[in-house]
Structure 1
């Protein structure tokens, strides 16, 4: 049996050999292929990344310089520079209207003898606030023009009008506070007498009484003005003269 088994396991010379199938053999070298691909691909990728970083490091500054140069050329090129916004014109018409309103207030005061007697400090340039207003008003009046002036002139006029307006308010406030407080009792009595005569001349229906009251008021005011108690503007004096001749004041 042993010999038979041996012959069957090892056939004699000349017999056909039938190999006994065993486990399949896998080439170990094939395992190196993926590793080589991975390692090689990683190296190639690393090399490409390195080369790309060098290219970008050189290209980006060049692009920045090129863009900056393009902006400079565009700004310097004729007709392509941005147009600067022109500053707004100064509000000269509004300032002129405000100055007209201020002038009307000032003229209305100087043409009203009753108002002058009520606020005598506003007609006295020796009072500090009144003197400042008269100077500011004269400055604005000197800068006033019928047509729009150049920009600098317009700005100077606007500033002068603002100063005149502030000075007028300050002068009126001071005159309201002062009123007749700076006068002696006899001087205050003379002013009050003149106010009473002018009130009678304004309210009476008799022409004769009106003319008599105006005449007496003019004499009293002339006396007070000679004494330096009041300073009657020429426009107010003209109104009294016209009323004393039988002409009603405007």
Structure 2
């Protein structure tokens, strides 16, 4: 590119020289004056080309650089422990709500059966976190262990619920599934009926059928759910 520009400048100067000779012969302008004008023109032309090249280089896109990831804000051990205590209390409440609801147990029986691998892992993780729970902030090492145990229990609970949702009543034989569905209908009738006699009769039949299913190992009804049915069977609606 520089060679072509030099040839262009030389050619332009030769053209101006010939034009100057012609003008001087014609008596229009002396050759030195004309050549001075030509040299000035060529110099300005080269400067403009140089500025153009520099400007083009100056606006070239800058390669994108990934910004560094933000540094995590350190969490004080006391704050992490307090947050884990809140999460564990919420998990305990969700687990207790399931175990106190006979209808929920009948719809997701795998969640109360520790022989189901996902349920067994949750029960173990929950027991571990519960054993590490303290009323006041413990030593830092104990607090960190508790926080990790709560995280494991939460993950295990979600996995156990997901598995129970997929399984539902598919593990039962057709006769067993029909029996569970009859109990669900009886409990629905007892819950929705405005007739006390009908409601109490439905609860009594449901309790009798559930006892039979529990003895056969078809349904593992937690004691808290059984207690809720007993309260309802005495004339009080379950919460």
Same fold (TM over 0.5): yes
Per the alignment, residue 102 of structure 2 pairs with 113
Per the alignment, residue 87 of structure 2 pairs with 98
**Structure 1: how far apart are the matches of 2:237 and 2:189?**
14
Instruction: Give the root-mean-square deviation of aligned CA atoms.
Output: 1.3
The answer as to 2:197 corresponding to 1:171 is: no
Native 8 Å contact 2:91 2:154 kept in 1: yes
Task: Structure 1 unaligned segments of length 5 or more: list them.
Answer: 1-85
The answer as to 2:233 corresponding to 1:249 is: no
Alignment of 1:150-229 (within 5 A): 150-229=139-218
TM superposition shift of 1:88: 3.3
**Structure 1: how far apart are the matches of 2:237 and 2:76?**
49
TM superposition shift of 1:87: 8.4
Per the alignment, residue 147 of structure 1 pairs with 136
Per the alignment, residue 89 of structure 1 pairs with 77
**Structure 1: how far apart are the matches of 2:237 and 2:169?**
28
**Structure 1: how far apart are the matches of 2:155 and 2:237?**
34
Per the alignment, residue 122 of structure 1 pairs with 111
Alignment of 1:224-239 (within 5 A): 224-239=213-228
TM superposition shift of 1:248: 2.1
Q: TM-score, normalised by structure 2?
A: 0.67
Per the alignment, residue 54 of structure 2 pairs with none
**Structure 2: how far apart are the matches of 1:234 and 1:153?**
32
Q: How many residues align?
A: 165
Q: Tell me the alpha carbon deviations over residues 74-106 of structure 1, each in whole angstroms, 9 at most, x when there is no partner.
A: xxxxxxxxxxxx983250000000000100110
TM superposition shift of 1:249: 1.8
TM superposition shift of 1:247: 2.0
**Structure 2: how far apart are the matches of 1:87 and 1:97?**
16
Native 8 Å contact 2:77 2:143 kept in 1: no
Per the alignment, residue 137 of structure 1 pairs with 126
Q: TM-score, normalised by structure 1?
A: 0.65
**Structure 2: how far apart are the matches of 1:128 and 1:192?**
24
Native 8 Å contact 2:187 2:203 kept in 1: yes
Q: Tell me the alpha carbon deviations over residues 183-229 of structure 1, each in whole angstroms, 9 at most, x when there is no partner.
A: 01100000000000000000000111110000000001011111110
